[in-house]
Amino acid sequence: MTDFFKGIATIPFEGAGSNNPLAFKYYNAQQQVAGKSMAEHLRFAVSFWHTFKGTGRDIFGAEVYDRSWDAPENKMTRAKATLEAAFEFFQKLGVDYYCFHDRDIAPEGETFSESCRNLEQMVQSAAKLQKDTGVNLLWGTANLFGHPRYTHGAATNPDAHVFAYAAAQVKHAIAATKELGGENYVFWGGREGYDTLLNTDMKQEQEQLARFFHMAVDYARTIGFTGQFLIEPKPMEPTKHQYDFDAATVLNFLQTYHLMDHFKLNIEANHANLAGHTFAHELSVASCVGKLGSVDVNRGDPLLGWDTDQFPVDLYETTAAMLVILNQGGLGSGGLNFDAKLRRGSTDPIDLFHAHIGGMDAFARGLLIARKIIDDKVLSGFVSNRYASYASGVGQDIMAGKMNFKTLEEYILKTGEPSLKSGRQEYLENIINSYI
């Protein structure tokens, strides 16, 4: 193994009593929880962009991190070193998956062809590292937002030439994902949105986006890529209004443009909050209709209105998320991807370990707590009781389509006023507290 993370060994599980900061207190990969190992339940992935390409740069200031893998002058040598550092990190942390954008692992070239050659070369290196380590690709995606050509969007660009460029780029990104055995391919809307309606034809742009997705589905079929396509909703940033605003918006888009069969959703915690929703709400909207495919785990800051992408630590949040995930029987080919970055002031490579260990422990605890809540039927018992009136009598007839407004009026004339029953929110909150 390489030695980019000097002095850091493989992170062991030591249990809740340990005070070793470089050990898991709750995440025990092999521990069985309801018939599956924790690793199988959680399917953690590390995001290449934040963890290995993050520099600490923000809108007010320059790069702050000094990373040994980022030192080589030559772009491709630097890309190779970064990839090796990444696989050293995955192994030491003990995760089974990672995620990348095409331009994270391979630098943009002078020409389109050179960019493709760079990507192909890095895919070869990644394939070898995957084989040597057993770490796999959870999902691949294309960076359709960083380069100036995408200033006005990629698929939603008013210039068809840019649409074509994006299509050509995604063709290679899907092929790269297939080559590396990626289990999913993600579309996050990047710059697919608008800043002002004064220069924007919203209907035209959404039709372009739909065309783009159909082409992706068709291309995947021609090369035999069988991974799951995912769309990642986000309401704003970088554009003022993104077309993939939230889960409900994306589901409606998929329905409108006949794409429902081909896509699921990748829900991100911080994006949910930016849309004015809780993380659990967005997970539930997707899960309700069988469309929760994967999750980007992170957290925002209630005092900051942007995508701060902090590591998850809140047990109420991880528990609520794991309740949704367990109740739908797991994430299938999806996983929990740490789309999260260090704070600018957390400057050292060791901080990357602290951050991921904390996030993994927070989700391991969420898993254990949610499992117990489900086993004890504390919520499900209450909820099914709350809807019990639909299991028999008039409620059953309503759901079976046997009633109409006229017959229900007759029912009311006979039975009169319904009785008001408490929703017991505080009582339920106290129960959740007692499990955490």
Residue 382 beta carbon to ligand XLS: minimum distance, rounded to whole angstroms: 35
Q: Is there binding between residue 192 and Ni ion (CB under 5 A)?
A: no
Bond preceding residue 12 cis, omega within 30 of 0: no
How far apart (Å, rounded) are the C-alpha atoms in residues 74 and 80? 10
Query: Which member of 101, 172, 271, 356 is catalytic?
Result: 101
- Show contacts with Ni ion in window 240-269 (CB under 5 A): 268
Given phi > 0 = left and psi -120 to 50 = alpha, else beta, which region is 172? alpha
> What is the closest distance, in whole angstroms, from the C-beta atom of residue 311 to ligand XLS in the complex?
14
Binds ligand XLS by CB under 6 A, chosen from 102, 183, 244, 339 = 339
Q: Tell me which DSSP letter residue 148 carries.
A: G
Concerning whether 104 is annotated as a catalytic residue, the answer is yes
Which x/- pattern over 169-188 shows residues binding ligand XLS (rule: CB under 6 A)?
Answer: -----------------x-x
d(CA 401, CA 378): 31
CB of 140 to ligand XLS, least distance (A): 10
CA-wise closest residue to 145 among 101, 110, 113: 101
Mark residue 263 as left, alpha or beta (left: phi above 0; alpha: psi -120 to 50; beta: remaining): beta
141 in contact with ligand XLS (CB under 6 A): yes
Q: Taking CB under 6 A as the rule, does residue 282 contact ligand XLS?
A: no
Classify residue 405 as exposed, middle or buried by CB count within 10 Å of its CB (0-12, 13-18, 19+).
exposed
SS3 36: strand
Q: Least separation, in Å, of the C-beta of 234 and ligand XLS?
A: 6
The angle formed by the CA atoms of residues 89, 92 and 96, to the nearest 5 degrees, is: 80
Asked if residue 268 binds ligand XLS (CB under 6 A), the reply is yes
State the binding string over 283-322 for ligand XLS (x if CB under 6 A, else -): -------------x----------x---------------
User: In the numeric block, which tokens belong to residue 70?
Assistant: 């980022």
**Could you tell me how far CA 351 lies from the centroid of its own chain?**
22
DSSP-assigned letter for residue 366: H
Q: In this structure, are residues 105 and 79 in contact, taking their beta carbons and an 8 Å threshold?
A: yes
Does residue 339 touch Ni ion according to CB under 5 A?
A: yes
Give CA–CA dist 67/55, Å, rounded.
8
Draw the binding track, 193-232, toward ligand XLS (x: CB under 6 A; -: no contact).
---------------------------------------x
- Shortest reach from residue 214's CB to Ni ion, in Å: 23
Of 350, 304, 249, 370, the C-alpha closest to 21 is 350
Q: Give the contact letters, 290-319, x = binds to Ni ion (CB under 5 A), - = no.
A: ------x----------x------------
Which residue lies nearer to Ni ion by CB, 80 or 356? Answer: 356
CB of 298 vs Ni ion, minimal distance in Å = 7
The number of residues that bind ligand XLS (CB under 6 A) is 10
Q: 250 is written with which tokens?
A: 């994306």
Catalytic one of 102, 104, 246, 307:
104
- Residue 141's binding partner, choosing from Ni ion, ligand XLS, none, with beta-carbon cut-off 5 to 8 A by kind? ligand XLS
DSSP state of 348: S
Interaction partner, residue 229 (ligand XLS, Ni ion, none; CB < 5-8 Å by kind): none
Contact 133, 93 (CB under 8 A): no
**Catalytic-residue membership of 101:** yes
Catalytic residue numbers? Answer: 101, 104
Binding stretches for ligand XLS (CB under 6 A): 101, 141, 186, 188, 232, 234, 268, 296, 307, 339
